[in-house]
């Protein structure tokens, strides 16, 4: 029997039925193999436990895995040691018994200019320090302590409530140094009175140190104090008959104004945050 021209070329004849006709290569694959199983949609209300811990500012995700495996973390009162465990944003997550907040901790340092009040809002429509850090973070930041409207210098903002309590409580002795300008030269006798402590209308006050600034007029001083009482530096000098014409906070809790122009802000470094948390 004579082969068809197609068969001579090694191609199967269209008229060939059954036999050893080879099926097209593509038909050897199941259509099911082409269709991958749809992935399970992630729940936007859920987050991996290690990420939750990292966002709370406790440690990195890798370190969080170590703590999880060691049993340091509980979810809704039960220890969780499973890697990749997911929690809901509404869950009660605790690290060593302390409840965590999902919001990542932020720490912003501002060199405050004059004419801004230290509050989150003002019913009189005056400008607040929150305007100056509005672009710094999406977190709900709060100022740590206060600076008067006309007082300039370092002001810290954070959403870390525990750190805020520590830095504003007098028992921790947080170091605050001010550069003071007076309307007249301070007498040596009055400087000694301040050193010894004064009795103000709301109780006694003691400064940590006070001194004239080398090379500057006697109306300029440096004063270190840890009290958080309202307008305390101004009231110390007013008690002795002086007026403070300019007041600038140059050091706060070990933080300085270096490379931070007036009206500008920056994020704290990791080491600076560690130093603040280590304050006893």
Which residue in the list 92, 148, 160, 162 is annotated as catalytic?
148
Q: Catalytic: 148?
A: yes
Helical pair 161-168 and 270-277, crossing angle rounded to 10 deg: 60
Question: Are the C-beta atoms of residues 159 and 103 closer than 8 Å to each other?
Answer: yes
CA 158 distance to own-chain centroid: 5
| 34 vs 130: CA distance, rounded Å | 56
Q: How long a stretch of residues is the chain?
A: 280
Q: Which tokens is 125 given?
A: 């429509």
Of 165, 146, 167, 164, nearest to 155 by C-alpha is 146
Residues with active-site annotation = 148
């Amino acid at each position: 029997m004579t082969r068809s021209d197609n068969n001579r070329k090694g191609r199967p004849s269209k008229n060939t039925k059954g036999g050893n006709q080879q099926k097209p290569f593509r038909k050897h694959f199941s259509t099911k193999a082409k269709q991958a199983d749809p992935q399970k949609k992630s729940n936007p209300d859920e987050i991996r436990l290690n990420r939750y811990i990292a966002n709370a500012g406790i440690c990195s995700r890798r370190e969080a895995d170590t703590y999880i495996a060691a049993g340091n973390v509980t979810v809704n009162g039960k220890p969780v040691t499973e890697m990749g465990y997911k929690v809901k944003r509404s869950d009660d997550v605790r690290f060593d018994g302390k409840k965590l907040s999902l919001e990542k901790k932020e720490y912003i340092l501002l060199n405050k200019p004059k004419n801004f009040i230290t509050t989150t809002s003002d019913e009189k429509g005056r400008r607040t320090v929150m305007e100056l850090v509005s672009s710094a973070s999406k977190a709900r930041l709060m100022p740590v302590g206060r600076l008067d409207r006309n007082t300039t210098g370092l002001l810290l903002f954070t959403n870390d409530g525990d750190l805020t309590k520590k830095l504003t409580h007098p028992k921790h002795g947080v170091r605050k140094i001010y550069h003071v300008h007076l309307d007249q030269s301070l007498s040596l006798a009055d400087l000694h009175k301040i050193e010894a402590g004064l009795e103000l209308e709301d109780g006694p006050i003691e400064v940590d140190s006070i001194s004239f600034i080398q090379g500057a007029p006697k109306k300029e001083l440096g004063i270190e104090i840890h009290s958080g009482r309202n307008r305390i530096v101004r009231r110390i000098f007013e008690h002795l008959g002086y007026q403070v014409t300019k007041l600038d906070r140059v050091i706060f809790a070990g933080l300085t104004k270096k490379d931070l122009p007036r009206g500008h802000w920056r994020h704290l470094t990791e080491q600076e945050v560690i130093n603040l948390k280590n304050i006893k």
